[in-house]
Amino acid sequence: NLKIGVVGLPNVGKSTFFNAITNSSAPAANFPFCTIEPEEARVAVPDERFDDLCKIYKPGGNVPAYLTVIDIAGLVKGASSGAGLGNAFLSHVRSVDAIFHVVRAFADPDVIHVEGEIDPIRDLEIIHEELRIKDIDVLKKYIDTNDKVISRLGQSANSGDKNKKEELVILKKVLAYMEEGNDVRKGVWNNKEVEYINQQQFITAKSVIYLANVSEKDYLRKKNKYLPKIKAWIDENYPGDMLIPFSGAFEQTVSLLDSDAKEEHIKASGVPSALPKIIVSGYSGLHLGYFFTCGPGEVRAWTIRKGTKAPQAAGVIHSDFERGFIMAEVFTYKDLKEHGNEAAVKAAGKYIQKGKEYVVSDGDIIFFKFNV
C-alpha cells in the first residue's frame, strides 16, 4: 500500500488541497496546527486508457488504480527539535513513499503566514532543512547504537558483523553528505550504498513533487510573480523535479460543485483543474505503473512497480497466480485501440504469449494462465 504525503508550512493550503483532492468538505481552518492526526485518502488515478477500456468492454464492474494521499500537518521551523507538533508528524513523513511539497505563492492579508512575509524560497528551505535534520538525527542514533554493538563484539566478529561494519562505513558517508546540507536523493550512490540507504527510510531520499499554491486570480491568468523564482530554485537544487502550480481557492470551489456545474465552471474559467495532473504525477513519482485485466465481468487496473516481471505481476492479483504461473497472454492498449477489439488484435498477431522473464509494461492488457 503505497502512499504520498502532503507537507508544507502551516497555512500554505495543504488542507484545502487535501480536501479538494478527496472531494471532502472538511473545513480548512485559518490557524496553525489545525490537523493533528494525518488524514488519509484514496483517490482514483485518472486515466483515459482505463475509461476507454470500460467503453470497449462494457464490464459489469471496474476498479481503477488508486493513489493514497496523506495530509501531514504541523511542519514548522524547529519541528525537528520539537517545535509545533514536533517529532510526531516527522515520523508520519518517514512512513510515506513520496512527497507533495506545497509552497505558498499567494498573498492574502486574511491568511497569516507563520514566518511573516510571503517568501516561497525561504519556506522551501525551512522545510528541506527540517526534514534533513530529522534524517540526520535518526541516522546518528542508528550509527551510535550499532557502533557500540560492533565494538563490544571486538575480535569475535563473524561475517554477519562484517556486513554491519560495511553498512556503518556507508552510512557514515551518507551522514557526512547530509551534514554538508544535502538531501540523500541528490547524491550519486552505487548499488551497495543504495541497498543500505533503502533500508533507512530517509525522508530526504523520497521523490518530491512541488506544488505552488497561487491565488485564484493568478491561476486564471496563468501568471504569478513567485513562480519563476521557485522554478529557478528547484532547477538549481533539485534538477528534474516537477513543479505544478495550482490554486487552493480555485480547486476548493470546483471540488464543491456537482459534475455538470463543475464542467461549466471550468469551461467558463478557461483553465482546467490542476488536480488530475497532480494525481498522475504523484503516481509516477512513486515509480508505479499498472497493467489491466479486461473482460465482460470487470475492467481493472493493477498497480505494479516499474520493472515487475510477469509472475510477480500475476501475484498482485493472487498469490496462486504467481505460484502456478504458466504464461501471460499480452496485448497492449495501443493495439486494442488501433484494431478495435480483442478478436481483431488476435487476427493481427498482436496477442502474444510471454514467459516468466517478461517485464510487464505500463498499459499492458494481460490474461494469465496458471496451474491450480
28 near ligand GDP, judged by CB under 6 A: yes
Min CB(360)–ligand GDP separation in Å: 38
Contacting range for ligand GDP; rule: CB under 6 A; set: 173-181, 211-219, 225-233, 327-335: 211-219
C-alpha grid cell for residue 146? 550499532
* Distance between CA atoms of residues 152 and 148, nearest Å: 6
- Number of Cβ within a 10 Å radius of residue 307: 10
**Which residues participate in the annotated binding site for ATP?**
11-16, 214
CB of 185 to ligand GDP, least distance (A): 23
Told to check if 341 binds ligand GDP by CB under 6 A, we report: no
Q: What are the phi and psi torsion angles at 53 (to 5°)?
A: -60, -35
Sign of CA dihedral 178, 183, 185, 188: negative
* 255 binds ligand GDP, rule: CB under 6 A: no
Nearest to 130 by CA among 7, 282, 2, 4: 7
Residue 245 engages ligand GDP in binding (rule: CB under 6 A): no
d(CA 49, CA 292): 10
Closest to 289 measured CA to CA, from 300, 305, 311, 308:
305
- Residue whose C-beta lies closest to ligand GDP: 248
Q: Given the complex with ligand GDP, which of 217 and 318 has the nearer CB atom? A: 217
Give the whole-angstrom CA distance, residue 197 versus residue 174. 8
- Under the binding rule (CB under 6 A), the answer on residue 10 touching ligand GDP is yes
| Residue 58 grid cell | 462494457
Q: Which is nearer to ligand GDP, 108 or 179 (CB)?
A: 108
Q: Name residues contacting ligand GDP, limited to 83-112 (CB under 6 A).
A: 106, 108, 111
Question: Closer CB to ligand GDP, residue 12 or residue 133?
Answer: 12
Q: Where along the sequence are the contacts to ligand GDP (CB under 6 A)?
A: 8, 10-16, 28-30, 106, 108, 111, 213, 215-216, 247-249
